[in-house]
Amino acid sequence: DSYKPIVADAAKKSADKVFNRICVTH
């Protein structure tokens, strides 16, 4: 279970990147 926060943080960062890219391109 100790890896879950790391995975969640990485997922959040990649989601933020995708979200920012969508916002910028639209």
**CA–CA separation, 2 vs 26, rounded Å?**
38
pTM of the predicted model as reported, rounded to 2 decimal places: 0.53
pLDDT for the residue numbered 2: 87
pLDDT for the residue numbered 24: 86
pLDDT for the residue numbered 25: 79
pLDDT for the residue numbered 13: 96
pLDDT for the residue numbered 11: 95
Domain that holds residue 6: 1-26
Q: Which residues of the chain have pLDDT under 70?
A: none
Number of domains in the chain: 1
**CA–CA separation, 25 vs 2, rounded Å?**
36
Q: What's at 24, amino acid-wise? A: V
